[in-house]
Structure 1
Amino acid sequence: MNTPASVVHDELAPWLPPEVDEFMAGLLAGRAGSRRALGNAVRDFHTEVLAPSSSELEFRYAADLALRSRTLLHGGVDALLESLHPDVEWSTPILTTYGLTAGPVLDIHLNGRGLQLYPSPLTAECLALDAPDRRPVLVYPCADHATDDLPDTDALADLLGRTRATVLRALTHSATTTQLSRRTGISLPSTSDHTRILRNAGLITTHRTNGTALHSQTPTAHHLLTGATRGITGQIPKTPAITADNR
């Protein structure tokens, strides 16, 4: 609630349409009533959602931080950026991310400002913030577990079939059908068929919004995969959502 009005405006304005409701207009203008309403909403969200889940959220954040620290220590910056998330690609000097839906392309030039990486257990896709005279921020979904080598015997593949097991593992992070097809390297019709079977088996859920189907693992699938290796194979061309150029 004490954040300077200029900061609120810089962080919100790029993401809002030209016409906004009275509340959002008040935030952009720095009005006290809108700021109090937002502050109360944040407190309520913390009380009802974050506080009861704080232990799990802290564990996931710390696990991701430990994983990235080990990667940076043993493989350097290139290895860190190459392994951030299935929807992040690093090709020196450009870091490219891909969103859940086909939206506008945001091209960020770092110009010596650096890039802050922020793992979040509360998002299913990568988000970027590029405010003038501030270090750009890339928010990406926390990794659930470190990736180990595939075992000689893959019990999940024996149970579901190798391709379907790959599809389920690729949903460690929620994905649209197109995104899932890209992650696994299989065709869209085949991806749709596998998601239908996994959904009927109670291993994934599908939420449809504006013609886009977003697939996520169910708790049953999460328990099934606990301790198992998650592998994602194959890539096909993608349309970028965010690019960061360090030149």
Structure 2
Amino acid sequence: LPGWARPLAEGDTGALAALADALRDYHAAAVAPFQESIDAAFAADRDSRARDVLGGGVEALLAGLGPPIRWTPPVLEVDYVVDQDLALGGRGLRLVPSYFCQRTPLSMADPGLPPVLIYPIQQRHRWRPAVRRAGAAGLSALMGASRSAALRALDHGATTTQLARMLGVSPATASRHATVLREAGLIETRRDGTAVLHTRTPLGTALLEGEIAASPPPRPGQS
């Protein structure tokens, strides 16, 4: 070990306390200001994985973890920093989404620990515009009551037919609402078998929760 690391390896309480303080300070400066964006990215990834499980079971979940992860039954192949095999032997595999993990998934170094695969969340779920609060009434005024209701109806995703049923409109009308919301970046649309599934993006969720990007109104006399 290099000299600076030896006190940590030996469990020196002063060195460990200094490391803990440094990590707290770093988190406060570099991570905490973006916590809302990170939470929204986690929520989007979780919703996407849940839809995969509901739509196609564990097979669909594992197949959707790529591109650095490939499901070739019964083996889950992962682009990893070392060449190794991990036999589950009947044990479960805990999947942990990571905002900061980039490109290459990670696993626990100790083979005696429960099997864990830390995988990077999809890039499309990451950085989003900064937002601030606004009222629900303002959302309806901005988007119109029908499209605001359509965005609210997509809590867990819905097909065009399901959305039409929830809104009490025709499928054609629901499809038009979905098109406008998708073009605004508030929802995503993908084909799921013969149906088309609409889900909210993190930006759409933030807007729905009353957090729209806006600047303070100018003072009188300012442009």
1:194-231 superposed Cα distances (whole Å, 9 cap, x missing partner): xxxxxxxxxxxxxxxxxxxxxxxxxxxxxxxx67889x
TM-score by length of 2: 0.52
The percent identity for this pair of structures is: 36
Question: What does residue range 64-75 of structure 1 map to in structure 2 within 5 Å?
Answer: 64-75=45-56
Change (3 A) 1:27 1:95: farther
- Structure 1 residue 122 corresponds to structure 2 residue 100: yes
SS in 2 for 1:86: coil
* Bigger relative contact order, structure 1 or 2 (CA pairs below 8 A, ≥6 apart): 1
Question: What does residue range 152-167 of structure 1 map to in structure 2 within 5 Å?
Answer: none
Match of 2:193 in 1: none
Deviation of 1:132 after TM superposition, in Å, equals: 4.2
Change (3 A) 1:228 1:62: closer
SS in 1 for 2:122: coil
Change (3 A) 1:32 1:81: same
Instruction: State the Cα RMSD in Å.
Output: 2.7
- Structure 1 residue 143 corresponds to structure 2 residue 140: no
Match of 1:193 in 2: none
Match of 1:112 in 2: 90
Task: Give me the whole-angstrom Cα distance separating, in 1, the residues matched to 2:88 and 2:8.
Answer: 28
Task: Give me the whole-angstrom Cα distance separating, in 1, the residues matched to 2:15 and 2:33.
Answer: 27
Question: What does residue range 89-238 of structure 1 map to in structure 2 within 5 Å?
Answer: 89-99=70-80, 103-125=81-103, 126-145=105-124
Q: Larger C-alpha radius of gyration, 1 or 2? A: 2
Q: Which amino acid aligns with 1:137?
A: V
How many residue pairs get aligned? The number is 131
Unpaired runs of at least 5, structure 1 = 1-19, 147-225, 231-247
Change (3 A) 1:142 1:134: same
Deviation of 1:83 after TM superposition, in Å, equals: 0.7
1:143-173 superposed Cα distances (whole Å, 9 cap, x missing partner): 2448xxxxxxxxxxxxxxxxxxxxxxxxxxx
Task: Give me the whole-angstrom Cα distance separating, in 1, the residues matched to 2:47 and 2:58.
Answer: 15
Question: What does residue range 13-24 of structure 1 map to in structure 2 within 5 Å?
Answer: 20-24=1-5
Match of 1:185 in 2: none
- Structure 1 residue 29 corresponds to structure 2 residue 10: yes
Pick which of 58-67 and 109-118 moved more.
109-118
CA contact (8 A) 1:26 1:34 kept: yes
Structure 1 segments of 4+ aligned residues over 6 angstroms from their partners: 227-230
CA contact (8 A) 1:108 1:130 kept: no
Task: Give me the whole-angstrom Cα distance separating, in 1, the residues matched to 2:72 and 2:8.
Answer: 38
1:19-56 superposed Cα distances (whole Å, 9 cap, x missing partner): x2234333333221331122112101210111101000
1:79-123 superposed Cα distances (whole Å, 9 cap, x missing partner): 101111211011122111114xxx431322222332111111112
Q: Which amino acid aligns with 2:119?
A: Y
Task: Give me the whole-angstrom Cα distance separating, in 2, the residues matched to 1:130 and 1:115.
Answer: 15
Q: Which amino acid aligns with 1:75?
A: G
Task: Give me the whole-angstrom Cα distance separating, in 2, the residues matched to 1:24 and 1:73.
Answer: 47
Task: Give me the whole-angstrom Cα distance separating, in 2, the residues matched to 1:30 and 1:136.
Answer: 27
SS in 2 for 1:71: helix
SS in 1 for 2:86: strand
TM-score by length of 1: 0.47
Q: Which amino acid aligns with 1:22?
A: G
Change (3 A) 1:25 1:229: farther
Change (3 A) 1:104 1:45: same
Task: Give me the whole-angstrom Cα distance separating, in 2, the residues matched to 1:129 and 1:105.
Answer: 14
